[in-house]
Amino acid sequence: MKYWRAPLDTDEIAVVRGKVYIINDRCKGCGYCIEFCPREVLEFSKEFNIKGYHPPVVKSDGCLNCHYCELLCPEFAIYTVEAD
């Protein structure tokens, strides 16, 4: 995401970090979570799941726990929680 300018209180705000949980075998590989993740933390796995789809896998630790993947996933296959 690009900002016009950094907010003045950037240094004081604690950034929430999220942890992504993926229930591989529920995934049907639509790729919506990968495409629409605002932090682009997901990519297709090389592995197949039980149904023969490539589920997503976390490629970077930029997750901000926005839950968008969780909301968008039609399969209840992904969710995020606040990282400790």
Partner 1 sequence: MAKAKANQKVHPLEELIRTERLPHIWCSGCGVGTVFSACLAAIQETGIDHKKFSMVSGIGCSGRGAGYVKLDSFHTTHGRSIPFATGIKMANPSLNVIVFSGDGDLFAIGGNHFIHAARRNMDITVICINNFIYGMTGGQVAATTPHMDRSATTPYGNPEMPFNLPLMAYASGATYVARWTMIHSRDLTDSFVEAINHRGFSFIEVLSPCPINYGRRNKIKSLDMLKLFADNTIIKNNADPAELDIDFKKGVVLGKFVDIDKPTPDENYEKVCMMR
Residues within the interface to partner 1 (CB under 8 A): 21, 23, 26, 28-32, 35-36, 51, 53, 67-68, 70-77, 79-84
- CB of 12 or CB of 84, closer to partner 1: 84
- CB of 57 or CB of 72, closer to partner 1: 72
Largest Cα span, the chain: 48
- CB of 39 or CB of 79, closer to partner 1: 79
The residue ranges of DSSP E strands in the chain, in sequence order, are 18-22, 42-44, 56-58, 78-82
